[in-house]
Amino acid sequence: MKDLSNKKVLFIICGGISAYKSLETIRMFRKNNAEIKTILTKSAKEFVTPLSVASLSQGKVYDDLFSLENETEMDHISLSRWADVIIVAPATANTISKLSQGNSDDLASTVILASNKQVFLAPAMNVRMWEHQSTQNNLKTLKGFGYKIIGPEIGDMACGEYGEGKMSEPLVIYEEIQNFLFSKIKNNKLKALVTAGPTNEYIDPVRFITNKSSGKQGYEIAKSLYKRGFNTTLISGPTNLKIDENIKLIKVETAEEMFKATQKNLPTDIAVFAAAVADFKASSEHKEKIKKVDNFTLNLERNIDILNYVSNHNFMRPKMVIGFAAETTSLEKNAVQKLKDKNCDWIIANDVSKDKSGFDNENNEVTIFYKNEKMKKEKLSLKKKSEISEEIVDRIVAQIN
């Protein structure tokens, strides 16, 4: 076990027989010098006492949303900002349902809803409750929000039944969080650059060439990189999307502006080019609005290829260069060719002709093509773009570390 000095862990205990396991998990964190604060839900106090939790955590135990003693502290805000990571163990079916709906009727759920930190859930419930479609749907929703799930395991349950739903053992939970925190420490030393969204290439003052890109996938990748500790810069074409204030956002409009912004932010350790940069621009931009005529010829020229420039840079090439390929036909053939031509490490390709994924959808389905891996390609099945980004960043972290 590694030393966790200066690491702040917010531990939320919900009402379930597995709550006693949380005491051992808390003990492990304290033994390795993590700072612990704990929230007990109302039902959790039926299984463990605030005194026992306080004794093990050596930190404050919170259990009431509206406490006169702490009213001025705005606990739900201060706690969510204080923590490096939030753990909910056990996470009951009721808590999972509440979080998936965005309900916030107690301190625990309010803190989680107000937080911008990584939240881990360690589910614990009867096998039938775990297998119920509503629980599985709720978990799918939470994964889409970026929650990480630990377990559950298969085994004997307190109710006498056997199956999946048993909370993971304290050591399993501890090691998962420990690995996350230490990965984040390593990543703090690394810079990540992400491009996202379309570009607008003007023909005249009111007309431009663009594409259907919403920027959602690129924004989600930037968020995932930041949550994993990377010093993240996002260069975005025109979108209406919001981003965490701790992520450096550079807004641009044209391919030329995006190229210059990219140059200024080199060198970087990781570069993810998710922007759908217009391949062509008008050879000359008309200074006045072009009047309507029966026939009009528009001369185009190639835009700067930002991915190709960065990936083939002699001195400032990032350790990892990842490009995106939006295709409508021959996805694998085109992606493999782009991987070779651009000299990048990965190409992430998706079929934007599909109704349920790609441009301006909440979901995506992509295939990662690797340059120097035994596994040449890997498909990430249809899911929310936030989930796709988490899976992509998981693989980035595994390779970069």
Which residues participate in catalysis according to the annotation?
159
The Cα–Cα gap between 199 and 185 comes to 35
Secondary structure (3-state) at 49 = coil
Note whether 303 and 277 are within 8 A (CB).
yes
The Cα–Cα gap between 48 and 235 comes to 48
The Cα–Cα gap between 202 and 207 comes to 6
The Cα–Cα gap between 196 and 237 comes to 6
What phi, psi does 91 have (nearest 5°)?
-100, 110
Structure tokens at 21: 């396991």
- Strand positions, DSSP E, 2-128: 8-13, 35-40, 61-62, 85-91, 118-123
Residue 236: closest CA among 212, 211, 219, 260 = 219
Structure tokens at 151: 């377990």
Question: Residue 82 belongs to what H/E stretch?
Answer: helix 75-82
Question: Residue 162 belongs to what H/E stretch?
Answer: strand 162-166
The Cα–Cα gap between 363 and 157 comes to 36
Note whether 289 and 337 are within 8 A (CB).
no
The Cα–Cα gap between 212 and 261 comes to 22
What phi, psi does 356 have (nearest 5°)?
-95, 0
